[in-house]
Structure 1
Amino acid sequence: MNPVYALIDCENFYVSCERVFDPSLRKMPLAVLSNNDGCIIARSERLKEEGVPMGAPLFKWDEELEEMGAEVLSSNYTLYGDMSRRVHSILGEEALQLERYSIDEAFLTLPALKRENLQRLADRIRRKILRQVGVPIRVGIGPTKTLAKIADENAKARKRVGWGQGTYVCPPEPELEELLERVPVGDIWGIGSAYEETLHEKGVASAAEFRALPDPWIRTEMTVVGLRTAWELRGRSCLDLELVRPDRKTLVRSRSFGERVHSKENLREALAKHSQRAAEKLREEDLVARGLEVFITTKRFGDGPYYSNGVAGALGAHTARGAPFVAASRRLLEPIYRGGYGYKKAGVCLYDIRPSRPHQESLFGRDRKEDEDLTAAVDRVNQAYGKGTIGLAATGLPSERAWTMSRQKRSPRYTTRWDELPVARA
């Protein structure tokens, strides 16, 4: 028998991560903010019930959050990334195969057991993650990825009204038909707003009505992608797990500044830092690149003046070392920099990317083994003692960087920094 699919979805992931290490937050309404503490990007259940929207600007909701007694925290991506790694590691122990879909979601394949046995397995996975990591999850199981997604949404709805703990296994027909009749067509995974409008014009309102449409009509109006979605709703698996990362075409690293940057030297440091981090990402994925684009921009809203520009250039050879990209970023900044502006964002984009493998690009190119050995040694130090322990001097001293993000309410990075571990006093 073919395996079944499970969608694992961490509940309110950023909020849940913060609550693991600070029990005082567990019963409080909590919001997590975007870069530079601008917008709300994660909300506890209480804030959702109170109508606080995703992406809401903090300044518009300051008074309401204070009246609710809500805690507001800056984003702590170091913590969230490490907690995500822990969750996925445990899921890998339970799955036949695992696809890391996002930082807080994963698709698994599980043995094709009876429905009651799958339900017990889902409950066991949920309890295991909660016990070992402290993050609550939902589990939706179905014969296809699309049906697993619907099962996850149903688990979420049932838990909200007090039915179950957040796990649900798709039933067989005809119960499945009844479930799909309650799913609005616009809520189907892969159905965008344009297709939703097309289906509404045809009188199709539910997932059950959509999957009953004739195949020729679906293919004509919604291409083969829409047809595969309909087949998935009928129980025919068309979307395999993505076990191998698709070939990367570009790699972008950028950040908005906490305050406007007026100095060319600060822009150089920011671009150097982004270039160094992009090179580290290349090495993590065993890739090399030859092209680099840098871009700078002022704030697009509010008082001017406004300015935005970018320029690209090629390196002498493919590489994953940071120094060549940093040198190129400094060189490329010169023709696009304009004084008299307050820059709000800068970044780099690497392109012409290919897998790292022996490849002679220049007959007279020198042997760079010593450079590669040094880079590998730096990576080992940073892995052992934390990112940023050693870096290129061009990125500036962390304590003196005037261009960093504003994260005034960030919680400690409990799992990756020794100096930020909680202290217990007995």
Structure 2
Amino acid sequence: MSTDITHSANLAPALCRDCGTRLPADMNRCPACGSPRLVKHGELDVLSIAHIDCDAFYASIEKRDNPDLLDKPVIVGGGQRGVVSTCCYIARIYGVRSAMPMFKALEACPDAIVIKPNMEKYSRIGKEMRERMRALTPLVEPLSIDEAFLDLTGTERLHRATPAETLAKFIREIEEDIGISASVGLAPNKFLAKLASDLEKPRGFSVIGAAEAKSVLAGMPVGRIWGVGKVFQKKLEKDGIRTIGQLQTMDSADLARKYGSIGLRLAHLSQGDDSRLVKPQRGAKSVSTETTFRTDISSFETLRPILRDLSEKVSARLKKSDLSGRGITLKLKTANFKTITRARHLTDPTQLADRIYSAGVSLLENETDGRRFRLIGIGVSDLETAERADPQDLLDESAERRKSAERAVDRLRDKFGNSAVELGLTHAAKAAKDDK
């Protein structure tokens, strides 16, 4: 963490986060600007893997755009799903959390100001952040709209600064130019960097070095390990494993026998070892598919099952690539070759066919006004990893049942092939194609 791990405090490099001044570690305030916001660590000048995570991203943008909200609790969310997308840190003091049902959030914080998400605005600012990150290093791996891994190895000559100094300057410029804040985690690998970025939010700059990794991890719950979700965490707790420190004492072969491949990952990560590289996102910016009809179609009821079939194909590609996305785009081409595109932004990223289809079919309804179409397509954009895709919807039990059913169908198709299970709409789509 942001502490001295050398034998002498005076030997540990220190940096002022507010003005970038280098100073001895025994100082508690920057002599240049008077700021107490110092980062000190014995490995500060040798670490180069970072995780940058914006602080309450949506809420921060809304406060930036409306200064009257600065000292008020703000919740971004609501709408049809009736859940919290994100909330500011004032609201969090009252117990409000992301994915909480809105009625519970307002019970906890009745004075909160609720704002409907503006995903187009958030996406635009997220892209600007990403471009600024890529100016620091080409090795930027986005995790979502507001966070990414960076590998700044070898950038000292380019920026004439250590990675820590470059990151501190970057965060200052983000606050000055864009008007939002972010937290930084600096470490020898991705796992530790992501843990570090969450230690001192908001406006944090935390360091976990290689020498202290095991001791820092030891007291953390097993749920802090990448890939350990709530279900698996309960399984580990049932087996008597509650802390990462307990995993550190266990034999890796025993963990592998008991939990398979994830057991080996537990063994490595519990020791602070993570060999994953920062991989820049060079792939497609969207995942889409489309089909052209032999005979033009005007009927919504005929187009609907075809759209469902296309949504399943896009979903399968997203799942295979471990991707998700917030942008849903419907594409239509009329009989006279005019292309129509309609788009919708989701509050949370998805990789589920059910959600892709639901968004697409609502867009389709507005376009089926008697015109004949020769092509239909559906696509998902604003891609990110699947880590935060499709959170539980506590207010819509039917959505949760559909999600569980879709995951069950996926497992059957993985085992027996894509034709093992066909939904009624999907079957209707194939029948429609056979009739054309």
TM-score (norm 2): 0.54
Question: 2:51: which partner in 1?
Answer: 7
Gaps of 5+ in 1: 160-164, 248-283, 291-314, 318-322, 336-345, 356-368, 380-390, 398-426
Answering whether residue 256 of structure 2 is matched by residue 219 of structure 1, we say: yes
Paired with 1:186 and 1:142, the residues of 2 have a C-alpha distance of: 20
Question: Which of 233, 240, 244 does residue 207 from structure 1 map onto?
Answer: 244
| Contact 1:100 1:107 (8 Å CA) reproduced | yes
Paired with 1:286 and 1:371, the residues of 2 have a C-alpha distance of: 25
Q: Which aligned pairs between 1:190-201 and structure 2 lie closer than 5 A?
A: 190-201=227-238
Return the offset for 1:20: 1.7
Paired with 1:285 and 1:243, the residues of 2 have a C-alpha distance of: 16
Gaps of 5+ in 2: 1-45, 318-332, 342-362, 370-436
Question: 1:186: which partner in 2?
Answer: 223
Answering whether residue 116 of structure 2 is matched by residue 77 of structure 1, we say: no
Identity of aligned residues (%): 24
Answering whether residue 94 of structure 2 is matched by residue 123 of structure 1, we say: no
1:372–1:332 CA distance, 2 compared to 1 (3 A)? closer
**Secondary structure of 1:41's aligned partner:** strand
Return the offset for 1:371: 9.1
Return the offset for 1:190: 1.4
| Contact 2:210 2:272 (8 Å CA) reproduced | no
What CA deviation, in whole Å up to 9, does each residue of 1:167-226 have, x standing for no partner? 1121231x2222112322222221223433444355443323324421111212222234
Paired with 1:207 and 1:184, the residues of 2 have a C-alpha distance of: 6
Answering whether residue 311 of structure 2 is matched by residue 350 of structure 1, we say: yes
Which has the bigger relative contact order, CA under 8 A and spacing at least 6?
1
Question: Which of 67, 75, 86 does residue 128 from structure 2 map onto?
Answer: 86
Question: Which of 225, 230, 248 does residue 267 from structure 2 map onto?
Answer: 230
| Contact 1:140 1:155 (8 Å CA) reproduced | no
Paired with 1:245 and 1:205, the residues of 2 have a C-alpha distance of: 38
Question: Which of 159, 162, 170 does residue 208 from structure 2 map onto?
Answer: 170
AA aligned opposite 2:206: Y
Return the offset for 1:62: 4.5
Return the offset for 1:90: 0.8
Question: 1:132: which partner in 2?
Answer: 177
Question: Which of 80, 84, 92 does residue 48 from structure 1 map onto?
Answer: 92
What CA deviation, in whole Å up to 9, does each residue of 1:364-397 have, x standing for no partner? xxxxx9999964xx78xxxxxxxxxxx9995389
Return the offset for 1:136: 0.7
| Contact 1:139 1:152 (8 Å CA) reproduced | yes
Return the offset for 1:45: 1.1
Question: 1:289: which partner in 2?
Answer: 290
1:92–1:220 CA distance, 2 compared to 1 (3 A)? same
Question: 1:24: which partner in 2?
Answer: 68
| Contact 1:97 1:108 (8 Å CA) reproduced | yes
1:373–1:235 CA distance, 2 compared to 1 (3 A)? farther
1:58–1:372 CA distance, 2 compared to 1 (3 A)? same
Question: 2:280: which partner in 1?
Answer: 243
Return the offset for 1:131: 1.9
**Secondary structure of 1:36's aligned partner:** coil
1:112–1:34 CA distance, 2 compared to 1 (3 A)? farther
**Secondary structure of 2:99's aligned partner:** coil
What CA deviation, in whole Å up to 9, does each residue of 1:119-165 have, x standing for no partner? 33332221122222112111112222211121112233xx6xxxxx4
| Contact 2:142 2:281 (8 Å CA) reproduced | no
Greater Cα offset, 206-215 or 123-132: 206-215
- Number of equivalent positions: 283
| Contact 1:289 1:351 (8 Å CA) reproduced | no
Answering whether residue 196 of structure 2 is matched by residue 151 of structure 1, we say: yes
Paired with 1:125 and 1:43, the residues of 2 have a C-alpha distance of: 24
- The RMSD of aligned alpha carbons is 4.1
AA aligned opposite 2:233: E
AA aligned opposite 1:110: L
Question: 1:95: which partner in 2?
Answer: 137
Return the offset for 1:101: 0.7
1:63–1:169 CA distance, 2 compared to 1 (3 A)? closer
1:61–1:75 CA distance, 2 compared to 1 (3 A)? same
Return the offset for 1:23: 1.3
1:84–1:186 CA distance, 2 compared to 1 (3 A)? same
Question: 2:387: which partner in 1?
Answer: none
**Secondary structure of 1:172's aligned partner:** coil
Paired with 1:370 and 1:62, the residues of 2 have a C-alpha distance of: 46
1:393–1:122 CA distance, 2 compared to 1 (3 A)? same
1:51–1:188 CA distance, 2 compared to 1 (3 A)? same
| Contact 1:129 1:135 (8 Å CA) reproduced | yes
| Contact 2:187 2:210 (8 Å CA) reproduced | no
Paired with 2:66 and 2:103, the residues of 1 have a C-alpha distance of: 25
Answering whether residue 83 of structure 2 is matched by residue 39 of structure 1, we say: yes
| Contact 1:43 1:54 (8 Å CA) reproduced | yes
